[in-house]
């Protein structure tokens, strides 16, 4: 279908840094506009904001409330990443602005990262590697005993696509899987719990795979961590906002939980200095989907969404 009012490059806005391959395609194929930095942004938006019809952003940056208000003719937001909590979805929904993300293509790599953190956190693999590098093993000391990873009771907080992929992998470790989601999943073969606290009470390891955003902010609070207990571990590959970070720091410092494996943090890239000093926590730089193959697939799907909207005013992977 052809439209009388086609969308041109000066009506496509790149918001913030995006994947380099996406940035190159936006510039070369679409001649998209780049939103200026903070000092020039408001003046630029006053002059040009009304012409923008499509925004392309990363899941980390998004199109927030203030920016969206300054784009009165915005029709669609094309998001690089599965998470979109940095975008004001409520305002977008009210205004009829379509929003896409990149689901499925990153599920396996994020689930693989969760399993890497699961093994590393329980078995202390990173700490053991530091033990060797520091020469401590060569000095005659033995590394402390760790926790068995096979056969544990594991809770998945958020049994969506990624949560299910994690569960599939955990089955190979002969684990007993429990879960909590906003609603019970029809056909799920695992034990459902009505709250995050009830889930934590029932398991040895709590894996956080819930979507970010206001609805899940601090879902794992001090009471959930207390329910997990001094022999319990927590793994987070979702969003840093899902865990009360101050409560987590306290629990790790006071050893009211046994350990944590974290790929995400509340104020990335800033990690609480207290966590850097602890050896019962594994810290990763939000690399959940960070493989060459997955980034290529995410790039392809992002650009396919943009092309589809320009051609047919429809997104391939819309968020409803």
Distance CA 242, CA 309 (A): 32
Of the residues 268, 270, 304, 307, which is catalytic? 268
Active-site residue 268, yes or no? yes
Distance CA 221, CA 259 (A): 15
- 91 near 68, Cβ under 8 Å? yes
The secondary structure element, H or E, covering residue 121 is helix 107-123
Instruction: Please name every residue paired with 220 in a beta bridge, in sequence order, or none if there are none.
Output: 243
Of the residues 286, 293, 295, 313, which is catalytic? 286
Pairing of strands 205-208, 153-157: parallel
Distance CA 278, CA 260 (A): 10
Distance CA 54, CA 168 (A): 37
* Residues contacting 176, CB < 8 A, separation 6+: 151, 152, 153, 154
The secondary structure element, H or E, covering residue 241 is none
- 104 near 244, Cβ under 8 Å? no
HSE-CB of 161 using CA atoms within 13 angstroms: 12
Distance CA 314, CA 236 (A): 34
Distance CA 186, CA 200 (A): 21
- 179 near 167, Cβ under 8 Å? yes
Residue 85 burial (10 A CB sphere; 0-12, 13-18, 19+): buried
In order of 81, 84, 93, 121, 268, the CA distances from 118 in angstroms are 23, 25, 37, 5, 21
Distance CA 165, CA 109 (A): 10
Active-site residue 133, yes or no? no
Active site members: 239, 268, 286
């Amino acid at each position: 279908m052809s439209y009388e009012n086609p969308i041109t490059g000066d009506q496509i806005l790149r918001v913030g840094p995006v994947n380099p391959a996406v940035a190159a395609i936006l510039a070369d194929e679409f001649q998209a506009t780049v939103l200026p930095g903070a000092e020039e942004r408001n003046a630029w938006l006053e002059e040009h904001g009304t012409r923008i019809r499509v925004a392309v952003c990363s899941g980390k940056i998004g199109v927030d409330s203030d920016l969206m208000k300054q784009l009165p003719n915005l029709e669609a937001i094309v998001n690089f990443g599965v998470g979109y909590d940095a975008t004001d979805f409520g305002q977008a929904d009210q205004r009829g602005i379509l929003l896409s993300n990149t689901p499925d293509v990153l599920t396996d790599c994020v689930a693989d990262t969760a399993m890497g953190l699961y093994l590393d956190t329980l078995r202390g693999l990173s700490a053991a590697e530091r033990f060797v590098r520091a020469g401590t093993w060569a000095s005659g000391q033995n590394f402390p005993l760790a926790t068995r990873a096979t056969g544990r009771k594991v809770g998945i907080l958020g049994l969506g696509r990624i949560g299910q992929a994690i569960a599939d992998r955990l089955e190979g470790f002969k684990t007993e899987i429990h879960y909590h989601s906003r609603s019970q999943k029809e056909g799920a073969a695992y034990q459902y719990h009505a709250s995050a606290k009830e889930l934590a009470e029932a398991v040895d390891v709590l894996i956080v795979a819930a979507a970010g955003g206001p609805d899940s902010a601090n879902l794992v609070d001090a009471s959930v961590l207390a329910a997990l207990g001094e022999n319990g571990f927590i793994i987070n590959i979702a969003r840093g906002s899902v865990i009360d970070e101050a409560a987590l720091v306290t629990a790790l410092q006071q050893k009211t939980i046994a350990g944590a494996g974290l790929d995400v943090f509340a104020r990335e890239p800033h990690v609480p200095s207290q966590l850097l000093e602890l050896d019962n926590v594994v810290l990763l730089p939000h690399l959940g989907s960070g493989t060459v193959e997955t980034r290529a697939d995410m790039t392809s799907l992002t650009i396919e969404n943009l092309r589809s909207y320009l051609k047919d005013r429809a997104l391939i992977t819309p968020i409803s």
